[in-house]
Homo-oligomer: A and B are copies of this chain.
Amino acid sequence: MSRQPVVTPRGDDFPRWYQDVIAKAELAENGPVRGSMVIRPAGYALWERMQGEVDARIKAAGAQNAYFPLLIPESYLRREAEHVEGFSPELAVVTIGGGKQLEEPLVVRPTSETVIGEYMAKWVQSYRDLPLLLNQWANVLRWELRPRLFLRTTEFLWQEGHTAHATEEDARAYARRILHEVYEDFMVGVLGIPVTAGRKTARERFAGATSTYTLEAMMGDGKALQMGTSHELGQNFAKAFGIEYSSVRGTREHAWTTSWGSTTRMIGGMVMVHGDDGGLRVPPLLAPTQVLVCVVKDGDGVHDAARRLVEEIERAGVRVALDTRTDTPFGRRAVDAELKGFPLRIEIGPRDLGEGRVVLVRRLDGSKTPTPIDAVTDRVTEMLSADQRGLYEAAREHRDARTVEVKTLDEAVEVAATGWARVPWAAVGTAGETRLNAQGLTVRCLVRADGGVPDSEDEPDLVALVARAY
């Protein structure tokens, strides 16, 4: 039975498919101001789950949450030369407060290195105060001329970590710990997204950083998305803001700082990695609702059986919801459940129930499994766990199939039209990067031949990952 597609087919027009899915799954819509975004309950529920998972990992890495002001004196930004240069074109500026013209304009934070640097300088006195490990969940603003929901919006939600350490080695180790133990672990383990950890080239570094580490993921159209970054800031901010400590030997030293962030952009990444022509496919470990129990049709004992099933599944620690809207045609509800990407749907109707069973429908592949009602909970937990792996494996196969090892810049340009090129960094270099940029391509990151993350872009035998990017 063919039916009208509910969203633009992904293969026909990927950007339009993305827009359709975001709209039809009711994740978000454009805000009233260009570049702004309204995150609807279904989208925000995903963010809450992401927050919970990332926050637990941040706390396990020893950082504490705090909150710093939204408005930053413009003069703070000017203290670190590269930082102000990087952010100036994107700033929103408050010039009127309480009905009066302000003496000093206030910047709406594009990121909080400067204001947090100011306070770290007060709080850090001695080596005993280090490391100082802070994190903040907040909104930030970066004026965006070509907005796209979740991927590039003028306002977005994120966490930003800011830490100060006694030595460069400590700072580096912590920036990398966050990259791997917080971000990579979450993205691979919960989002089911294979990510490539690497080092940004000098050109692609965060404004004011000495090293930027990144996690790059391949989207369904072969483009790359930067999923999270962790920066070593050297002593740049410590010098600009006076973050000094007295060492064990009694000397005064500048601290070494890091910063690291992950944003609502991850929602867009999750959509573009796992989504298909039916809409969203949400990885079970992330899904706010893992199982939707649908009453297909009213009938003897159906509603009671559905409620009992929900209770039983819930007791097994599974997040489950109940759909009893039998006044809406079942077909429409099934399409809607697919759009919204619930990992598992359980269809319960009078006929099947009469035979003691229900039907389990997996969002991963649409397969339908008639299941005796007393075996449902076991099957549910097995399927959720198998489908979490299934989504990850599919994404990994897709990425590997569209990644090609090449030798020259020309080959890299060709490959990157549809996927990722891995090319020797020696064959690219700064001049090569300029050529790539002119064609809408970037070096997403540098990696060692063995997959490790380089300490410097001058290491021998590095591989550059070249791709189009969001």
Contact = CB atoms under 8 A, between A and B. Distances in A.
Nearest to A71: B33
Contacts of A94: 92-95, 108
A23 to B, nearest CB: 12
Interface in A17-31: 29, 31
Contacts of A45: 64-65
A470 interface: no
Contacts of A105: 96
Contacts of A70: 36, 70, 108, 139, 141, 155
A70 B35 CA distance: 12
Interface stretch (A83-91, A223-231, A420-428, A440-448): A83-91
A32 B118 contact: yes
Interface string A120-156: 0000000000000010001101011100000000110
A119 interface: yes
Interface string A25-50: 00001011100111111011101100
A115 interface: yes
A39 B66 CA distance: 6
A41 B47 CA distance: 22
A27 B92 CA distance: 29
A72 interface: yes
B39 A67 contact: yes
A436 interface: no
A250 interface: no
A421 B91 CA distance: 51
A190 B68 CA distance: 26
Q: State the copy count for this chain.
A: 2
A324 to B, nearest CB: 14
A99 interface: yes
A67 B89 contact: no
From A38, A115, A119, A139, residue with most partner B Cβ within 10 Å: A38
- Sort chain A's interface into a size bin: 35 or more
Contacts of A92: 71, 94, 96-98, 106
Contact of A69 (B73, B76, B155): B155
Given A88-B99, A92-B94, A41 B66 contact: yes
A43 B136 CA distance: 13
A67 B67 CA distance: 18
Contacts of A139: 70, 138-139
Given A93-B96, A98-B91, A38 B155 contact: no
B93 A67 contact: no
A157 interface: yes
B108 A68 contact: no
Contact of A40 (B44, B66, B138, B154): B66
Nearest to A134: B41
A73 B39 contact: no
B69 A41 contact: no
B106 A69 contact: no
A69 B134 contact: no
Given A31-B69, A37-B69, A139-B70, A93 B97 contact: yes
A160 B305 CA distance: 38
A56 B380 CA distance: 26
Interface in A196-212: none
Contacts of A134: 41
Chain A to chain B: the 7 pairs with minimum beta-carbon distance, closest first: A98-B143, A41-B64, A36-B69, A93-B96, A39-B67, A31-B69, A95-B95
7 contacts: A41-B134, A43-B66, A67-B157, A70-B139, A70-B141, A71-B155, A91-B98
